Structure 1
Amino acid sequence: MTLSIHASFLPSDDLEASLSFYRDVLGFEVREEGPRRASVGPPEQPRTSIVLHPPGADAELTEEEHATVAELMAKGVHGAIVLATPDLAGTFERIQATGADVVQEPLDQPYGVRDCAFRDPAGNLVRIEQR
């Protein structure tokens, strides 16, 4: 069996701000854009997308559950993605220069990875590791 990742989903409570981050800061291309959601992805990977969607969009969620999702997003623990680059230092400097929310500067992790981290406008954690 062969499987590949087609799309991953990240919540976005401000679609325009999220699009600006992924398009203008990370250099992703916009694949689809609608009034409530959009998909973006790296130009070099045209078959892989990140879908930015309203948080708690499931109509079956209760009001209390919607509030919980909003609280988790505000804490920055609701969504996360790990990206990779061959030039972590250069990528970090370029993203930091845009005023992006830095969570962690480049650091050698005890599990063998050198990475850094940012938060996107919705509070999702964006980790970037050296490959």
Structure 2
Amino acid sequence: MSTRTDFSYTLTRTLDAPVDSVWRAWTTPERYERWAYTAPGTVEMDVRPGGAWKATVVTPDGGEFPLTGSYLDVDVDRLLVIGMDVPGRTEPSAMRVELDADGPRTRIVVRQSCDTAEERDGAEQGTALLLDSLAAFLADGTHG
């Protein structure tokens, strides 16, 4: 029996890059650091089901927040389910990142369920900023 109320969001974008480039941007620490608002040298990724990740996010005002978690599901070039550790909770918060090829472009869908409307609104806003930054990173042509 779940007492969780569904406070979820879904964001969809079409990115001007092939699926494999988008995948590498999400799963390669050096690339992820270039667009995901992280402190240099703080990203670690073991991209496999059960593999751990960590990163320190830097806020616009210079605050730093260490984040940790694990990969709950991995299907190369198609799906990443990223578990994020939440203080005080036994279960991670999960973010689902789905990729679909659209010719030379990629359709990305990000979904997340949260515990409160406030948490959802913050997570959705943060994810929208991440997707904007990812789109800019992929558009600059240096993502490899």
TM-score range, shorter chain: 0.3 to 0.5
The structure, 1 or 2, with the larger RCO (C-alpha pairs under 8 Å, 6+ apart) is 2
TM-score (norm 2): 0.33
User: Structure 1 or 2: larger strand share?
Assistant: 2
